[in-house]
Amino acid sequence: MAETYDVVIIGGGPGGYNCAIRAGQLGLKVACIESRGTLGGTCLNVGCIPSKALLHASDLYRAAQEDFAGLGIKTGKLEVDIDQMMAQKNDAVDGLTKGIEFLFKKNKVDYIKGRGKILGPGKVEATLTEGGTQTFETKNIVIATGSEPVGLPGIEIDEERVVTNTGALSLTTIPKRLILIGAGVIGLEMGSVWARLGSEVTVVEYLDRILPGADDEVAKEAQRAFKKQGLTFRLGMKVTGVEKLKSKLKLSMEPAKGGETEVLDADVVIVAVGRRAYTDGLGLENVGVTTDKRGVVQVTDGHFKAADGVWAVGDCIHGPMLAHKAEDDGTAVAELIAGKAGHVDYNLVPSVVYTNPEIAWVGKTEEQLKAAGVEYVKGKFPFMANSRARTNHETTGFVKILADKATDQILGAHMIGTGVGEMIAEICVAMEFGASSEDIARTSHAHPTLSEAVRQAAMGVEGWTMQM
Ligand code: NAI
């Protein structure tokens, strides 16, 4: 006998688990099918969380080497204990994935370990990890299967020497020569970790800029900062293959515009050229759900609905591939199923790159506004002129706020500097409320804090920044 549910969710990442917990809170009978063996998806297991554990630890090591003496702190000989660094990362991951299991129990979500497949309208089958199958009858199916790394032709990933984010987070030794393919978010975060720990890092990028999607001015400032940290950038280069020799890897590349092939030696190559929706073998055809060429589930209502009684959330639908966007999608869908309102504004999903300096933005870039013909005013404030940043000797970067020329409504904010990943939330709230730059400029900000730079940038929109 198949069990009957209100909601069966396929996938237990940030999209799926938030949907499950919210559905449970709203009194719906819910099951979540996950095949990985742990909850949390890419984010908790091989993405956001382990990368932040390594970014945090490696940045403290860097600070101990480079900053402590100037602050009057003497250290002895510093050494990296890579096993312990990986162990503390694994501890963070374990604690958080178990935390979701606890939240499932608390909210009466049935956690099914196995691989889910849609058999037809209202019918899902799980091939259980422990063997056998289980069938579910359900009023609603939620597809929350996330994404997987994209590969490159001519490059075989082995997750030991040629790795994706998964392997890059679990290297057992510090590679002497590390090459990153792709100067996107994963490339820069992973490059930062291993450069701080002592690797010679080269970043090979197809485009003639880093961080596509980020504001141009921010990307340029970031590249300057990373160069100072020892990262070598080879922009406008297309990787054509990686040959695996016993003693080393040989990476071939050529100018994107065409030209001579160049070969670089490496010990480890990280492939970080984007991700694609993970929707193969899900039985989508059994409910008339279609995907585009890249596997992205097509929605019929412009938002989350893929067919009658079938919803999709997170990386496998349109919108930015970010954990917090997936969380919001999942919550909104649970609320829609429960008959409440549910909506996510993808224009207000912040992006954060957790390097040092951090990079954060929300809303439109200057390039997007220009392309759309929107007239805007810019306010900008450098951390060099912020008293707290100067006191902490962390003066790289700036805050930039873009506001509509006619109405002063904030259209976007772009920041680079220490702590901006936290500071962007202020702008997200302001933009959700349709705030003007003047609203922020006239809001009291504690002194001395880094967030005063946000206020000063907002003051700059009307030209009354108070800067030395
Ligand atoms: P990405 O899309 O951010 O960057 C990929 C880069 O690879 C692009 O700059 C692209 O031009 C370049 N590229 C593509 N083909 C190439 C080739 N043949 N040779 C050289 N360069 C090439 O993708 P990434 O970094 O893999 O991240 C995947 C997803 O995960 C993104 O959606 C990202 O937002 C998300 N993510 C978010 C994080 C965060 O929020 N902090 C952290 C890590 C990942």
Is 111 close to ligand 1, i.e. is its CB under 6 Å away? no
Q: Is residue 466 included in any domain, yes or no?
A: no
Residue 386 has pLDDT above 70, yes or no: yes
pLDDT at position 132 is: 98
Q: Are residues 298 and 317 in the same domain?
A: yes
Atom 43 of ligand 1, nearest CA residue: 186
pLDDT at position 154 is: 87
pLDDT at position 133 is: 98
Q: What's the 417 CA to ligand 1 centre distance in angstroms?
A: 21
Q: Are residues 374 and 284 in the same domain?
A: no
Q: Are residues 247 and 286 in the same domain?
A: no
Q: What's the 238 CA to ligand 1 centre distance in angstroms?
A: 14
Is 206 close to ligand 1, i.e. is its CB under 6 Å away? yes
Is 251 close to ligand 1, i.e. is its CB under 6 Å away? no
Range of the domain at 283: 3-148+276-346
d(CA 242, CA 258): 18
Atom 40 of ligand 1, nearest CA residue: 352
Is 241 close to ligand 1, i.e. is its CB under 6 Å away? no
Q: How many domains does the chain have?
A: 3
Query: Once rounded to an integer, what is the mean pLDDT over residues 395-400?
Result: 98
Q: What's the 369 CA to ligand 1 centre distance in angstroms?
A: 23
Query: Once rounded to an integer, what is the mean pLDDT over residues 277-285?
Result: 97
User: Which is the closest atom of ligand 1 to the Cα of 188?
Assistant: 25
Q: Are residues 45 and 139 in the same domain?
A: yes
Q: What's the 366 CA to ligand 1 centre distance in angstroms?
A: 21
Query: Once rounded to an integer, what is the mean pLDDT over residues 337-361?
Result: 97
pLDDT at position 468 is: 55
Report yes or no: 401 and 457 within 8 Å, Cβ to Cβ. Answer: yes
Q: Is residue 418 included in any domain, yes or no?
A: yes
Q: What's the 48 CA to ligand 1 centre distance in angstroms?
A: 14
Query: Once rounded to an integer, what is the mean pLDDT over residues 124-142?
Result: 98
Q: Are residues 336 and 281 in the same domain?
A: yes
Q: What is the pLDDT of residues 171-192, one digit of tens each?
A: 999 999 999 999 999 999 999 9
Mutate to test the pocket of ligand 1, among 186, 252, 316, 322 (most ligand atoms within 8 A of CB): 186
Residue 428 dihedral angles phi and psi, to the nearest 5°: -60, -45
d(CA 415, CA 350): 11
Residue 277 has pLDDT above 80, yes or no: yes
Signed CA dihedral, 460, 463, 465, 468: sign only: positive
Q: What is the pLDDT of residues 48-107, one digit of tens each?
A: 999 999 999 999 999 999 999 999 999 999 999 999 999 999 999 999 999 999 999 999
Query: Once rounded to an integer, what is the mean pLDDT over residues 201-225?
Result: 98
Mutate to test the pocket of ligand 1, among 205, 208, 351 (most ligand atoms within 8 A of CB): 205
Residue 467 has pLDDT above 80, yes or no: no
pLDDT at position 1 is: 63
d(CA 277, CA 297): 8
Q: What is the pLDDT of residues 2-55, one digit of tens each?
A: 779 999 999 999 999 999 999 999 999 999 999 999 999 999 999 999 999 999
Share of the chain above pLDDT 90, in %: 98
CATH of the domain at 219: 3.50.50.60
Q: Are residues 367 and 444 in the same domain?
A: yes
Q: What is the mean pLDDT of the chain?
A: 97
pLDDT at position 72 is: 98
Q: Are residues 314 and 366 in the same domain?
A: no
d(CA 305, CA 299): 5
User: Which is the closest atom of ligand 1 to the Cα of 320?
Assistant: 32
